[in-house]
A and B are shown apart, each in its own frame.
Chain A
Amino acid sequence: MDIVAMHIPDGYLGPQTYAILWLVMVPIWVIAARKVERTLKTKQIPLLALGAAFSFVIMMFNVPVLGGSTGHAVGATLIAIVLGPWPAVIAVSIALVIQAGLFGDGGITAIAANCFNMAVVIPFVGYYLYRLIGGDEPSSSRRAVGAGVAAYVAIVAGAIVAGFEFGIQPYLAHTAGGQALYAPYKLSVAVPAMALEHLLFFGWVEAIVTMGVVAVLARTEPELLQMKPAARPLRWLWAGLGALILLTPIGVLAPGTAWGEWSSEQISARIGYVPTGFETLGGLWRAAMPDYATPGVSDTSLGYLIAAVVGTVLVVGVTWGVGALLARRPGDDARPASPAAGPPAARAG
Chain B
Amino acid sequence: MSAPLSRCQTDIAPAVNRRGGGRSLARKTADSVGHAVADVLQNEELAARPGLLQRLDPRVKLLTLLLFAVTASLVHAVWTLVALIGLTMILAAASLVGVASFARKVWLSAGLFALLVALPSALDVFTPGPAAVTLGPVSLTEPGLMGVATLVTRVVAAAGFALLVVWTMRWTDLLRALSSLRLPDVVVATLAMTQKQILTLLRTVEQIHLARESRTLTRGTTRENRAWVTERMAFVMRKSMKTADDVYDAMLARGFTGAMPSLVTLRMRPRDWVWAAASVALCATVIAADRVVGP
Interface of A with B (CB < 8 Å)? 1-2, 9-15, 18, 33, 37, 42-54, 56-58, 60-68, 70, 78, 82, 90, 94-95, 97-98, 100-104, 107-109, 174-186, 189, 208-209, 211-213, 215-217, 220-221, 224, 343, 345
Apart from the given pairs A11-B154, A33-B184, A108-B66, 10 other A-B contacts in the complex at a CB distance below 8 Å: A11-B157, A13-B73, A46-B244, A53-B194, A53-B201, A62-B29, A64-B222, A177-B146, A209-B230, A343-B245
**Stretch touching chain A among B9-17, B33-41, B88-96, B278-286:** B33-41
Contacts of B229 in A (CB 8 A): 61-64, 209, 212
Contacts of B248 in A (CB 8 A): 42-43, 45-47
Contacts of A2 in B (CB 8 A): 109
Q: Are B244 and A102 in contact (CB under 8 A)?
A: no
Q: Are B226 and A208 in contact (CB under 8 A)?
A: yes
> Any chain A CB within 8 A of the CB of B28?
yes
A221 to B258, CA, bound (A): 30
Q: Are B69 and A10 in contact (CB under 8 A)?
A: yes
Contacts of B156 in A (CB 8 A): 11
Closest A residue to B250 using CB positions: A46
21 cross-chain CB contacts under 8 A = A1-B36, A12-B114, A37-B186, A45-B190, A47-B241, A48-B190, A48-B194, A49-B190, A49-B193, A49-B247, A53-B240, A58-B237, A64-B229, A97-B191, A101-B174, A102-B166, A107-B159, A109-B158, A177-B295, A179-B143, A179-B146
A345 to B233, CA, bound (A): 19
Residue among A100, A102, A108 having the largest count of chain B Cβ atoms under 10 Å: A102
Q: Are A95 and B194 in contact (CB under 8 A)?
A: yes
Interface of B is mostly: helix
A1 to B238, CA, bound (A): 25
Closest A residue to B226 using CB positions: A64
> Any chain A CB within 8 A of the CB of B163?
yes
> Any chain A CB within 8 A of the CB of B134?
no
A231 to B49, CA, bound (A): 56
Least CB distance, A37 to chain B, in whole angstroms: 8
A58 to B28, CA, bound (A): 14
A42 to B248, CA, bound (A): 8
Within B137-155, which residues are at the interface with A (CB < 8 Å)? Answer: 142-144, 146-148, 150-151, 154-155
Contacts of B155 in A (CB 8 A): 9-12
Q: Which of B76, B148, B151, B202 contacts A11 (CB 8 A)?
A: B151
Q: Are B195 and A98 in contact (CB under 8 A)?
A: yes
Chain B interface residue bracket vs A: 35 or more
Q: Which of A10, A37, A220 contacts B159 (CB 8 A)?
A: A10
Contact A63/B226 with A33-B186, A58-B233, A94-B194 known, Cβ cut-off 8 Å:
yes
B82-115 Cβ-contact flags toward A at 8 Å (1 or 0)? 0000000000000000000000010001100110
Least CB distance, A111 to chain B, in whole angstroms: 10
Q: Are A82 and B237 in contact (CB under 8 A)?
A: yes
Contacts of A44 in B (CB 8 A): 186, 190
Contacts of B195 in A (CB 8 A): 98, 102
> Any chain A CB within 8 A of the CB of B231?
yes
Q: Are B150 and A61 in contact (CB under 8 A)?
A: no
Closest B residue to A67 using CB positions: B222
Residue among B66, B148, B229 having the largest count of chain A Cβ atoms under 10 Å: B229
Contacts of A217 in B (CB 8 A): 234, 237-238
Within B119-146, which residues are at the interface with A (CB < 8 Å)? Answer: 121, 126-129, 142-144, 146
Q: Which of B29, B151, B186 contacts A61 (CB 8 A)?
A: B29
A78 to B238, CA, bound (A): 13
> Any chain A CB within 8 A of the CB of B189?
yes
Contacts of A52 in B (CB 8 A): 190, 194, 197-198
> Any chain A CB within 8 A of the CB of B74?
yes
